[in-house]
A and B are shown apart, each in its own frame.
Chain A
Amino acid sequence: MINSNILVVDNCKVDVENAKKAFSILGLKDTLYFAENDLEAWDKLQGNQKISPIPKILLIDINQEGIKGIDLLLKIRKHEDLKSILIFVITGTDNEKNKSDALNLNIAGYLHKPIQSDKSFDFFSILYNYWNIIEYSSEKK
């Protein structure tokens, strides 16, 4: 069972809407948080808007303009309380450098966004099912 908050870092309105819609159908609406860029995401992980408990799942589009994704991933991996977060890169564009940097930071998966909106529910369902078969550690005190 998914017992985790989920943070989505994306600034494409259509993609965010698709994710919201799918996660709402899948019953994850209440645990979902959004950030438009790396700074806002950090604020929600460690700053003023800190989400509690800390999300164990992060979805991020590292190739979107205005999001310094690799910088954020590096900060997460270096932080004692955040380094264990499961990071799923979800992107619509190709960037081999970003991809290899992300894979070197041990992301849980590098996934391509579905191009057609009507495929996006299937896409998020697969992710959801995967999150349901994996175990999570209990909350940090």
Chain B
Amino acid sequence: MIQKLVNILLVEDDEVDVMNVKRAFSKNNIKNDLFVAGNGVEALEMLRGGIVPLPRIIILDINMPKMNGIEFLKEMREDENLKNISVFVMTTSNEDSDKINAYNLNVAGYILKPLSFEKFIASVATLKDFWSLCEM
């Protein structure tokens, strides 16, 4: 099951959001190793450089400097060694074009960051339940 083994790469440029994810993980007792990349370029470097061990999943923001989430996804899906990684988008972008592009690149889910932290904790709890059913 995912939650015991998997390493999670969080691709997120906003430090407050990184902190919120860490807090929501700890509130939900999620103990997977968490790696953080500040943008798509950094994420690709970490994945290709073996910094994030297998198996791994990615939590991806959309709006980021240097290489945004959609650009990152495109490059990742073209890379033979990375293309099968499960990606969960977690973003404040409610743009339909971002959703369409993300699903066309086969993300496993597109989650809008709720405005309140309590709701965010609840979303992460739901995500944890879903991960507990998934095999890799």
Name A's B-contacting residues (CB within 8 A).
56, 77, 83-84, 86, 99, 103-112, 123, 126-127, 129-130, 132-138
Contacts of B123 in A (CB 8 A): 133
- A125: nearest chain-B partner, CB-CB: B129
Whether B130 contacts A135 by the Cβ 8 Å rule is no
Contacts of B94 in A (CB 8 A): 135
Closest 9 CB pairs of A and B: A106-B106, A84-B103, A108-B108, A130-B130, A134-B109, A137-B99, A109-B134, A135-B110, A137-B100
Query: Helix, strand, loop or mixed for chain A's interface?
Result: mixed
A137 with B96: in contact, given A129-B126, A130-B126 (CB under 8 Å)? yes
Interface residues of B in 80-105 (CB under 8 A from A): 83-84, 86, 94, 96, 99-100, 103-104
Q: Pick from B109, B111, B135: contact of A112, CB below 8 A.
A: B135
Q: Smallest distance from the beta carbon of B61 to chain A beta carbons, Å? A: 14
Whether B130 contacts A104 by the Cβ 8 Å rule is no
Contacts of A105 in B (CB 8 A): 106
B54 at the interface (CB under 8 A from A): no
- A131: nearest chain-B partner, CB-CB: B109
Q: Pick from A104, A110, A136: contact of B99, CB below 8 A.
A: A136
- B132: nearest chain-A partner, CB-CB: A126
- B2: nearest chain-A partner, CB-CB: A109
Once the chains are docked, how many angstroms separate the CA of A134 from the CA of B130?
12
Contacts of A103 in B (CB 8 A): 84, 136
Once the chains are docked, how many angstroms separate the CA of A77 from the CA of B104?
9
B127 at the interface (CB under 8 A from A): yes
Contacts of A104 in B (CB 8 A): 83-84
Q: Smallest distance from the beta carbon of B1 to chain A beta carbons, Å? A: 9
Whether A126 contacts B106 by the Cβ 8 Å rule is no
Contacts of A134 in B (CB 8 A): 109-111
